[in-house]
Amino acid sequence: MASSLPFGAVEFAANPEPRCPCVLVLDVSASMAGTRLQELQRGLQQFRDELGGDPLARKRVELAIITFGGACRLACDFTAVEHFEPPRLQADGLTPMGGAVQMALDLVRARKQVYRDNGVAYYRPWIFLLTDGEPNDDWHPACVSIRETEASRQAAFFAVGVGEANLDVLRQISIRQPLQLRGLMFREMFQWLSNSLKSVSHSGVADEVPLHNPAGPEGWAKV
Amino acid sequence: MRLHDGRTWLRLTDEIGRGGEGTVLAVEGDADRVAKVYASAPDAERCEKLRCMVALLQQAPGLGAHCAWPERLLTDDNGQLRGFLMRRLHDQHPVHALYSPEERKRTYPKATWETLARAAAGCARMFAALHSHGVLVGDVNERNVLVAGDGSLQLVDCDSFQITFEGRTYLTGVGVVDYTPPELQGADFRSVVRTENHDLFGLAVLVFKLVFMGRHPFSGGATGDMAAAIAACHYDYPDVAQRLKHLLPLAAVPGSLRAMFEYAFGDPEETGERPAAQVWAAELDDMAMALQPCATDSMHRVPQSLSRCPWCLIEATLHYAYFLREDGDRYVSTWSPRAEELHQLRLAMARTDGPPEPSSLVAPDEVDRALQMARRVANLGPPAHLDSWHVRVVGTLAVLGATAQWSLGHGHLTAALAVAGAALWAMGGAWAWWARRPWIERLDAMTHLHHAVLAGADAWQAEAHQRRMRDRQLIDTFDVLCDRHEAIVRHRLGQWDRLSADAIDESTRPQLGAIGVEEAELPAAIGTDRRRTLLVRGLATAADIERHRLVGLPGLTGQVIDALVQWRQGLETQLGGRRRPQPKPDQFAAIDQNCTVMQTEIEDQLAAVIAERHAAANAARDALDAIYAAYADNTEMLAREGERLWLALRR
């Protein structure tokens, strides 16, 4: 039998730590242009810096970014935090949120296959959706997929609305209570996300980690 | 912070580390000790446990040899226990920095497989020493074991050990799934009484990871769920290593160790007690002793159980070197992207406060009252002056009377009366003007003050806005400099590339430029997606396939890049190109040195921007405070004067 190397063999030889994949699904539709996008960009940079400062999280957490604005785009495929460079975001077009969520689910599924092929354990993937509008495509199939994925505990889905986001739609997509960002507290949001990912990546694979409630009086979100 | 250690008051200064339960602080005047201080006062159980640990150390001083054991307790002014004093460990890294291959190559570049085997043996000896005193590690994990530069190991987080003292057992209370034996998977760690046998599972996992290049013995199989795999005793590394030929085969370790792993990771009901720590130590020492350097690479260590060097085989299949080469002629780069320095600068920038936001102007307390008073007083206007009004009425009546008499024919009298009436009327007017003048002046002054208050707020915001704009420029400058700093990595690669043997032979460039990436037969690793990645980045022909242009593109791992460069080199050979001679080591060293100079220059500039931002923010605060002081004074005056006028006018 001819043995061929699985995709990513070198990467997992160099760093065989269990992986904690996290996909950021970011709205870059035209309404995000200006201060919102600038703050989001700064937040991303800080997110990278915070996670990069943790010696274990930087080897375990892998980030991918999908943007949707006009079209859904894989702005950054899964990359370990130590090699992650936040892409430059540009706002344009409408809000194909359903397609983006579906793309994230597919991406996560494919990545898990890579982990299995390489014999590396993994944590439950996180999908983190951020939007300031409402979908202009058919988002119902994505909704069904999310529910199936959550029910079989194959990924954890979080939704955050910015500004005039349609929280009713988010409530239908997400099993967890969607959160409304207070003002433009992107940095606080990413701080929370990096702290959560750090605690998850310090726990063992499959440990349930209690997360700090972001909707507290000092938090970045309101329900 | 000031705490008492039972002998004297200690001043605790810089924070060295921070964990879930508290912080680790330096002790002023004592370079060999640090204090762990709990974030919230520990409960009675924890206090009792710490007292017992200190007492236990006095009975058995050897306990302190391998770990940061609590030596003395620290209490605050009220006698409440707040933490403890322990030995300070210098220049240590968590054990995962040693067992993760890529990080090990950076952190311990001289480490060989023998180093790793000896570290594993040291780890086992450390467990053996604790077990011989009835102490259990309990929460075994990769962050609690530290490795010093000389390869010696230490345990930290000792207050989580499970200890038994005078017949009472104090529990660990926590655990990490990856190091928890099958019989404890899913158990509530808060009430679990651990045994030596439980600890030995965690030890076996640590040993395994050190010996087998950071791989966990339980990969999690089809679900990636390690907890479930451990609970089911599905020790699958042997299977995974069978499937993936580039992993270190189990046969690389002696049969005795293979059997010990089987026992340690097998079903506890079938295998019974796991191998003891001192047995691990002895076996691993024997294994390390028997290793021989490989003939091809002096950094490779070959076990007697194998006929060929496993590392050479892996390098040939995987194109990845698990160990750095120790080659006298070759320049071994110690260049660093200085990511940590940049990270620290970014943090410092984030911690520097900018000038206040224009929207953050807080109006003085009186401002509402003052503006309200000003409006009310303006509505009232100056008071009427009754006496002068009476005089004018009399004057008017006199003129009217004179007019009536004139119509009746009393001419000479009428003229005099009319003149007197007009004079009275004019005098009344002058008197009114004279009497009301101070009021009008006070009202004018108030209107003036009113405008000054409103203008004060505007001036503050305008100033804040301007300062903020300047601050934005500084942030942008900072970001641009950071980007430049990060771009040096690629710049350096480009320079290396041009120098190195895999640079394009320029004589073949025109022909290479005619071979399009879109239709060429690329290596197998390049699928449609990667081909598209190359094309959209403008890498359209074989002449564009240069290492420095490939690094960092999405989906292109080191292996894929190697394959692409080799493909281009194959074409060059077909076209009659020649390989370039190996460049001299000092040429590479010069590039690295140049890059380091560029980095440090940018870092200096970044530090200057931070200092400038700090100074600008301070200056902004001073300027804004001055504007604010005038604004607050005006407001106070307006409120006071408005109230006085209001009361006077209403009287």
Q: Is residue A8 part of a domain?
A: no
Q: Is residue A102 part of a domain?
A: yes
pLDDT over 70 (residue A2): no
Question: How many structural domains comprise chain A?
Answer: 1
CB distance A5–B559 less than 8 Å? Answer: yes
Q: How confident is the model at residue B501 (pLDDT cuts 50, 70, 90)?
A: low
User: pLDDT tens digit string along A147-179?
Assistant: 999 888 888 999 999 988 999 999 998 888 899
**Which residues in chain B touch residue A53, judged by CB atoms under 8 angstroms apart?**
343, 347
Percentage, residues of chain B above pLDDT 70: 96
ipTM (interface pTM): 0.90
pLDDT over 50 (residue A1): no
DSSP B162-174: BEEETTEEE----
Task: Compute and round to an integer the Cα radius of gyration of chain B.
Answer: 42
Structure-model confidence comparison of residues A141 and B577, the more confident one: A141
pLDDT at B326: 63
Q: Is B143 on the interface with A (CB under 8 A)?
A: yes
pLDDT at B186: 87
Facing residue for A16 by CB, picked from B94, B214, B559: B214
Backbone angles phi, psi at B100, to 5 degrees: -80, 120
Amino acid at B326: E
CB distance A59–B96 less than 8 Å? Answer: yes
Q: Is residue A48 part of a domain?
A: yes
Q: Is residue A91 part of a domain?
A: yes
* Structural domain span for residue A82: 40-126+152-162+173-203
Q: Using CA atoms, how far apart are residues A221 and A28, in angstroms rounded to an integer?
A: 20
Minimal CA separation from B570 to chain A, in Å: 21
**Which residues in chain A touch residue B98, judged by CB atoms under 8 angstroms apart?**
none
Q: Using CA atoms, how far apart are residues A40 and A51, in angstroms rounded to an integer?
A: 16
Query: Using an 8 Å Cβ cutoff, are B56 and B63 in contact?
Result: yes
Q: Is B214 on the interface with A (CB under 8 A)?
A: yes
User: pLDDT tens digit string along B256-313?
Assistant: 999 999 999 999 998 889 999 999 999 999 999 999 988 777 889 999 888 888 998 8
Q: Is residue A197 part of a domain?
A: yes
Least confident stretch, B54-68, B545-559, B599-613, B622-636: B545-559
CB distance B557–A10 less than 8 Å? Answer: yes
Closest-CA residue in chain B for A187? B350
CB distance B486–A85 less than 8 Å? Answer: yes
Q: Is A38 on the interface with B (CB under 8 A)?
A: no
Question: What is the average pLDDT across A112-122?
Answer: 93
pLDDT at B460: 93
Question: What is the average pLDDT across B111-140?
Answer: 95
Q: Using CA atoms, how far apart are residues B426 and B434, in angstroms rounded to an integer?
A: 12
Query: Using an 8 Å Cβ cutoff, are B585 and B330 in contact?
Result: yes
Q: Is A183 on the interface with B (CB under 8 A)?
A: no
Q: Using CA atoms, how far apart are residues A21 and A64, in angstroms rounded to an integer?
A: 8
Q: Using CA atoms, how far apart are residues A48 and B322, in angstroms rounded to an integer?
A: 27
User: pLDDT tens digit string along B192-213?
Assistant: 999 999 999 999 999 999 999 9
Q: Is residue A191 part of a domain?
A: yes
Q: Is B360 on the interface with A (CB under 8 A)?
A: no
Facing residue for B227 by CB, picked from A15, A17, A204: A204
pTM: 0.66
Query: How many Cβ atoms from other residues are within 10 Å of residue B16's Cβ?
Result: 13
Query: Using an 8 Å Cβ cutoff, are B176 and B139 in contact?
Result: yes
Percentage, residues of chain A above pLDDT 70: 94
Question: What is the average pLDDT across A204-210?
Answer: 57
Q: Is residue A78 part of a domain?
A: yes
User: pLDDT tens digit string along B32-71?
Assistant: 899 999 988 899 999 999 999 999 999 998 888 889 999 9
Structure token digits, residue B384: 């009427």
How many A-B residue pairs are in contact by the CB < 8 A criterion?
Answer: 135
Question: What is the average pLDDT across B465-471?
Answer: 93
CB distance B559–A55 less than 8 Å? Answer: no
Task: Compute and round to an integer the Cα radius of gyration of chain A.
Answer: 17
**Which residues in chain B touch residue A12, judged by CB atoms under 8 angstroms apart?**
none
Question: What is the average pLDDT across B238-260?
Answer: 93
Q: Is residue A79 part of a domain?
A: yes
pLDDT at B328: 44
pLDDT over 60 (residue A200): yes
